[in-house]
Structure 1
Amino acid sequence: MRIRNFRGVQSADIRLDGHTLLVGGNSVGKSTICDALDLALGPERMFRRPVVDEYDFHSAAYLPSDEGARPEIHIEVVLVDLSDTATLRFGAHLRKWDVESNDFADVEADAIDEADTRPWCLPIVFFGRFNPAEDDFEGGTFFAHPVPISDDLTAEIADLGGGRRSFTREDKRYSGYLYLRPNRTGSRALSLQRGSLLDTIIRLESDTEVTLWEKLRSDLADVALVAKDSKLEKILGQVKSRVSQFVSLGGASDDVQLHASELTRENIREVLRVFISNKPGAFAVPFGRLSTGSLNLVVFALLTYIAELRGDTSVIFAMEEPEIAIPPHAQRRLVDFVTTHMGQAIVTSHSPYVIERFEPENIVVLRRDDDGLLGSGPITLPVDFKLKRYRENRRQFAEAILARAVLVVEGATEASLIPVAADVMEADPALKYTHIDLAGVSVFDAGNDVSVPLYAPLFRSLGKPVYGMHDTPSQPLKADIAAKGQDFTEYKVIPYSGVEDLLITEMPASTKRRFLEKAPERPDYPSDCGSLAPSASDQDVDALLRDVLRHRKGAYYGYAAALVAEAEGATELPASIVSLLGLIDQQLTAEPASPAVDHASDPGEGS
Structure 2
Amino acid sequence: MRVRRLKITNFRGVSQGCIDFSGHTLLVGGNNVGKSTVCEALDLVLGPERLFRRPVVDEHDFHCGRYLTEDGAPVEIRIEAILVDLSEEATRRFGGHLRRWDDQAGTFIDERENGLDQADAPGVVWALPLLFVGRYDRDEDDFVGNTFFDHPTKELDALDEETEIKLGQGRVPFTRVHKRLCGFVFLRTLRTGSRALSLQRGSLLDSVLKLGGSGAVEMWQDTLGRLQALDPAIGEIEQLKQIRAEVRSRMGRFVNLAPGDNSTAFFASDLTREHLREVVRLFIAAQPGQHLVPFGRLGTGSINLLVFALLTFIAELKDKQSVIFAMEEPEIALPPHTQRRVTRFVLAEMGQSIVTSHSPYVIEQFDASQIVILNRDEGGALTGKPIDAQAVKPKTYRTERRQFAEAILSRAVLVVEGSTEASLFPVASSIMEDSLPADSYMHFDLAGVSVFDAGADNAVPRHGPIFSALGKLAFGFYDKPNAAFGQDSLEKLKSYTQVWESPEKGIENVLVKQMPIAVVRRFLNEVKDRSDYPAVGAYDPAAGDADAAALATKVLKARKGEAYGYAAMLIAQCQTAAELPATIREILEAIHKTLSAMPEEIAAPVPGDFEDLPG
Give your verdict on TM over 0.5.
yes
**Cα deviation, residue 151, structure 1:** 5.7
**Cα deviation, residue 336, structure 1:** 1.7
Write the distance in 1 (CA, Å) between the matches of 2:10 and 2:62. Answer: 6
Q: Deviations over 1:74-128 (max 9, x none)?
A: 1000111111111111122111111121011111799735963631111111111
Pair 1:227–1:44, CA change in 2 (3 A): closer
**Cα deviation, residue 522, structure 1:** 5.8
Aligned ranges for residues 275-290 of structure 1 at < 5 Å? Answer: 275-290=283-298
Q: Alignment partner for residue 187 of structure 1, among 177, 189, 194?
A: 194
Pair 1:417–1:115, CA change in 2 (3 A): closer
Report which stretch shifted further, 309-318 or 94-103.
309-318
Write the distance in 2 (CA, Å) between the matches of 1:595 and 1:541. Answer: 44
**Structure-2 residue corresponding to 1:604:** none
Q: Deviations over 1:6-28 (max 9, x none)?
A: 11111111101211111111111
Pair 1:178–1:228, CA change in 2 (3 A): closer
Verify the 8 A CA contact 2:373 2:387 in the aligned structure 1. Answer: yes
* Percent identity over paired residues: 52
Structure 2: which amino acid aligns with 1:338? V
SS in 1 for 2:111: coil
2:135 counterpart of 1:129:
yes
Pair 1:545–1:127, CA change in 2 (3 A): same
Write the distance in 1 (CA, Å) between the matches of 2:199 and 2:75. Answer: 35
Pair 1:312–1:361, CA change in 2 (3 A): same
Write the distance in 1 (CA, Å) between the matches of 2:236 and 2:466. Answer: 78
**Structure-1 residue corresponding to 2:100:** 96
Q: Alignment partner for residue 417 of structure 1, among 412, 424, 427?
A: 424
Aligned ranges for residues 404-443 of structure 1 at < 5 Å? Answer: 404-429=411-436, 432-443=440-451
**Structure-2 residue corresponding to 1:211:** 218
Verify the 8 A CA contact 1:332 1:354 in the aligned structure 2. Answer: yes
**Cα deviation, residue 319, structure 1:** 1.0
2:466 counterpart of 1:466:
no
**Structure-1 residue corresponding to 2:206:** 199
TM-score (normalizing by structure 1): 0.91
2:598 counterpart of 1:594:
no
**Cα deviation, residue 61, structure 1:** 1.0
Write the distance in 1 (CA, Å) between the matches of 2:436 and 2:170. Answer: 66
* Two-structure CA RMSD over aligned residues (Å): 2.7
Pair 1:19–1:323, CA change in 2 (3 A): same
**Structure-1 residue corresponding to 2:613:** none
Write the distance in 2 (CA, Å) between the matches of 1:228 and 1:87. Answer: 59
Q: Alignment partner for residue 125 of structure 2, among 115, 119, 123?
A: 119
2:307 counterpart of 1:299:
yes
Verify the 8 A CA contact 1:95 1:110 in the aligned structure 2. Answer: no
**Cα deviation, residue 188, structure 1:** 1.1
**Cα deviation, residue 130, structure 1:** 1.6
**Structure-2 residue corresponding to 1:82:** 86
Q: Alignment partner for residue 171 of structure 1, among 157, 160, 178?
A: 178
SS in 2 for 1:112: helix
**Cα deviation, residue 204, structure 1:** 2.0
Verify the 8 A CA contact 1:413 1:560 in the aligned structure 2. Answer: yes
Write the distance in 1 (CA, Å) between the matches of 2:250 and 2:493. Answer: 92
**Structure-2 residue corresponding to 1:61:** 66
Q: Deviations over 1:504-531 (max 9, x none)?
A: 1111122223333444576655587545
Q: Deviations over 1:407-450 (max 9, x none)?
A: 11011111111112122222333582233223322110011222
Q: Return 5+ residue gaps in structure 1 as ranges.
A: 598-607
Verify the 8 A CA contact 2:368 2:394 in the aligned structure 1. Answer: no
TM-score (normalizing by structure 2): 0.90
Report which stretch shifted further, 406-415 or 133-142.
133-142
**Cα deviation, residue 569, structure 1:** 2.4
Verify the 8 A CA contact 1:156 1:162 in the aligned structure 2. Answer: no
Verify the 8 A CA contact 2:160 2:166 in the aligned structure 1. Answer: no
Verify the 8 A CA contact 2:476 2:496 in the aligned structure 1. Answer: yes
Write the distance in 1 (CA, Å) between the matches of 2:415 and 2:127. Answer: 44
Q: Deviations over 1:214-261 (max 9, x none)?
A: 111111123336597844444444444444455454444444332211
Identify which of structures 1 and 2 has the higher relative contact order when contacts are C-alpha pairs closer than 8 Å and 6+ apart: 1
SS in 2 for 1:96: strand
**Cα deviation, residue 73, structure 1:** 0.6
Pair 1:244–1:362, CA change in 2 (3 A): same
**Cα deviation, residue 546, structure 1:** 2.6
Write the distance in 1 (CA, Å) between the matches of 2:259 and 2:107. Answer: 74
Write the distance in 2 (CA, Å) between the matches of 1:386 and 1:77. Answer: 30
**Structure-1 residue corresponding to 2:152:** 146
**Structure-2 residue corresponding to 1:494:** 502
Structure 2: which amino acid aligns with 1:137? F
Report which stretch shifted further, 159-168 or 109-118.
109-118
SS in 2 for 1:3: strand
Aligned ranges for residues 31-70 of structure 1 at < 5 Å? Answer: 31-62=36-67, 64-70=68-74
Verify the 8 A CA contact 2:29 2:375 in the aligned structure 1. Answer: yes
**Cα deviation, residue 461, structure 1:** 1.8
Q: Alignment partner for residue 386 of structure 2, among 378, 381, 390?
A: 378
Pair 1:171–1:110, CA change in 2 (3 A): farther
Write the distance in 2 (CA, Å) between the matches of 1:440 and 1:387. Answer: 25
